[in-house]
Amino acid sequence: MKPQIETLRIIEGKEKKEILKKLDEQFGIKKIPGALFMRGKERIFLFQGNFDEKMVRRLEEIAFVERVGVYLGKIEEYGIRLSIEGSQILKKEISKNFVELNYEETQTWMMGHEVIKKTGITGFVIIKYKEDLLGTGKASIEKITNFIPKSRRLKDRNVEK
Q: What is the mean pLDDT of residues 93-103?
A: 97
Q: Which of 41-45, 52-56, 67-71 has the lowest mean pLDDT?
A: 52-56
Contact 45, 69 (CB under 8 A): yes
pLDDT value of residue 161: 41
CA-nearest of 9, 5, 20 to 52 is: 9
**Measured in Å, how far apart are the chain's first and last C-alpha atoms?**
46
Higher pLDDT, 120 or 29: 29
CATH number of 1-96: 3.10.450
Domain locations along the chain: 1-96, 97-156
Q: Quick one: what percent of the chain has pLDDT higher than 70?
A: 93
Residue 5 has pLDDT above 70, yes or no: no
Q: Give the whole-angstrom CA distance, residue 150 versus residue 153.
A: 5
Handedness of CA 26, 27, 30, 34 (dihedral sign): negative
Q: Cβ–Cβ contacts within 10 Å for residue 42, how many?
A: 12
Asked whether this chain's domains 1-96 and 97-156 adopt the same fold, the reply is no
CATH number of 97-156: 2.30.130.60
Q: Supply the pTM of this predicted model.
A: 0.86
Contact 42, 80 (CB under 8 A): no
Under the banding of pLDDT at 50, 70 and 90, the label for residue 160 is: very low
